[in-house]
Structure 1
């Protein structure tokens, strides 16, 4: 394996649990309740534009009314307030990633400015800079493979030489569509008991539930693939 591509939200930082809580609470307050597992599977990992379009359709169907003009501003304000107070590194991320032998980068659905802010905020940006790739760089975000293919080209790696570390269904779908190997990562507090099974069902090759196992998994995963075996 030549390159390990890390998602950010829910893989490097705990932002997914923050977003999930803020969004579901706000949606319930306006009469558009979602079951958390279904919401995660449908919306987590999407690019902002895809998330907005899909969420608008779902909310309008649930409420029978068009979105208020400040709908997304309200969600953003709540989420940003909580991120500033609660954002943190996923435990053992730095210590594990610093030991990984492959090239590494970040590929996230988060817009570039917010992505760099998150990594800077938790003290992980130096592990990846300047190899930090945002959905802003491509026309179609996850679950389309565009971002991962852009990253592979930028990092001079063939798709089959890449391992993607993802916590979302949409990210797993994107990684497999790009022809890459995918580790489903379930260490985040937002991941429910059966989240690994869901990621496997959508194409993840293996599941890792804590960073302490991540480095060894990448090494053995790559060795198995290089020998022509199944992950």
Structure 2
């Protein structure tokens, strides 16, 4: 029995770095001041895992509904710039998701398995998080942002791109994702997708949403993922 995957592709936000939850309450309060009736849960359900362009398009459409007309460029830029700054004001509260370091140490020991980050974040912001939390030695140059591709999640582009850069077939990749948009992207890439609900933003029905989007399995902690990889490796070694 061979190990079932040639590569593991990790989303970053909400999987490795607990960043999705950062500033959400402040963001909801900010939007409330501009006529939005969204809770933090609404924000998560609408936008978690989306690339900036899709997020901006969705926000613009919702703002137009509030205004009863299309928002002009100036007022929309003011809205979205203020929202981004509101969330970034809390970026000092970001941490690694509990168990990330142990999981990555284990994954690095999997024979013949390559690893990469495949994220919806802009490359500059992604690189900052990878470097800030000491993950660069783990992934090296294989840290890929949706800036590299034409279409963001839920399109499969970023996972296909990362698989190509690793030199493996997408069908032989395992994707670890925390968002329904990301799961859908992995499924569209014909990868195996496992959902993850260990981020601080995950809602009580988050696992159900990931299964509905196509995740084969869902893990609540990195300890569970580490145990599963250990089991897969043990079965491989027992069969050889």
**TM-score after normalising by structure 1:** 0.90
Equivalent residue for 2:24? Answer: 20
2:143 to 129, 132, 144: 132
Task: State the secondary structure of the residue aligned to 1:34.
Answer: coil
Equivalent residue for 1:94? Answer: 101
Higher mean displacement: 163-172 or 57-66: 57-66
Equivalent residue for 2:208? Answer: 197
How far did 1:222 drift? 8.8
How far did 1:164 drift? 0.4
**Which whole-Å deviations, capped at 9, do the CAs of 1:27-67 have from their partners, x for residues lacking one?**
11211122444432321111101110111101221343526
Task: State the secondary structure of the residue aligned to 2:21.
Answer: helix
Kindly name which structure, 1 or 2, has the bigger radius of gyration based on alpha carbons.
2
Task: State the secondary structure of the residue aligned to 2:167.
Answer: coil
Equivalent residue for 1:215? Answer: 226
**Which whole-Å deviations, capped at 9, do the CAs of 1:141-166 have from their partners, x for residues lacking one?**
10100110111111111112100000
* CA-atom RMSD in angstroms: 1.9
Equivalent residue for 1:32? Answer: 36
2:117 to 95, 100, 106: 106
Gaps of 5+ in 2: 236-240
How far did 1:81 drift? 1.6
Q: Is the CA contact 2:26–2:87 (under 8 Å) kept in the aligned structure 1?
A: yes
**Which whole-Å deviations, capped at 9, do the CAs of 1:70-89 have from their partners, x for residues lacking one?**
11211121122211x20110
Higher mean displacement: 48-57 or 73-82: 73-82
Gaps of 5+ in 1: 225-231
Partners of 2:44 and 2:124 in 1: CA distance: 24
Equivalent residue for 1:167? Answer: 178
The number of aligned residues is 223
Q: Is the CA contact 1:106–1:132 (under 8 Å) kept in the aligned structure 2?
A: yes
**TM-score after normalising by structure 2:** 0.87
Equivalent residue for 1:116? Answer: 127
Task: State the secondary structure of the residue aligned to 1:70.
Answer: helix
- When residues 205 and 64 of structure 1 are mapped into structure 2, their CA distance, relative to the original with a 3 A threshold, is same
